Amino acid sequence: METIRDAPVAETGVTGPVIQLRGVEKVFATGRVEYPALRGVDIAVNPGELVAVVGPSGSGKSTILNIITGIDRPTSGRVIVTGRNLNDLTEEELAVWRGEHVGIVFQFFQLLPTLTAAENVMLPLDFAGTGSVAGRVERAHNRLEQVGLGDKLGNFPAELSGGEQQRVAIARALACDPSILVADEPTGNLDSDTATEMFEVLGKVNANGTTIVYVTHDPSLAGEAHRVVTIRDGQVVDGGQP
């Protein structure tokens, strides 16, 4: 795979970092037991960067992604993404903001088995009520072509390989043209060759200006990023700032 060295310039309308975590702490509580998942995390990501987050299992990597996307709220600290302070948003406002600005790719695809590839990609457009039905169909087809699945529009997930299912998941995440794409172990459920092909897709998406933050355990895939953020015991130990 060709190494990507220079971050492209993205048109986000945000001056400075598009993602900023300042002194973020996250404590999960189960009954009387508290578990500090993040301990004063400071991270900044500039528009158009391709950033890998690495660290041991349980170090807080996925929690950071959930904080960035507003799925989890910090116990303390500030979270500013696309110029919005997520702490100030209600759950309803967060849902709208997320639909407009953030795409999420999961390790296990999370496709609905009774929907075709195109219908899965259309889901976020349907939820957001974006454009006409014909327009949503056209955009779904375009996104699938973008990830190399223009010939699989009518296939159901069970009729696709693991790599093809993950491509559908990426197309779905891109459906609403987000400025930020986050991916939690997007290649963790794929063999090495398919994982390499999948990352090439993400590299092309990033080259078009989309900011990407991804978690990976694969050192070779982490090495393809513009910058690697290393997390250990809920703290950033390297690479937190551009």
Model confidence pLDDT, tens digit, residues 49-108 = 999 999 999 999 999 999 999 999 999 999 999 999 999 999 999 988 998 899 999 878
pLDDT in tens, 6-49: 334 344 455 689 999 999 999 998 888 999 999 999 999 999 99
3-state secondary structure of 78: strand
User: What is the sign, positive or negative, of the torsion defined by CA atoms of 115, 120, 125, 128?
Assistant: positive
Q: Which of 206, 172, 155 is nearest to 49 (CA)?
A: 206
Tell me if 241 sits within 8 A of 44, measured CB to CB. yes
Structural domain span for residue 105:
19-112+167-238
pTM assigned to the model:
0.87
The DSSP line for 227-239 is: EEEEEETTEEEE-
Count up the domains in the chain and report the number.
1
Does some domain include residue 44? yes
Does some domain include residue 141? no
- The CATH number for 68's domain is 3.40.50.300
What is the phi-psi region of residue 98: left when phi exceeds 0, alpha when psi lies from -120 to 50, beta otherwise? alpha
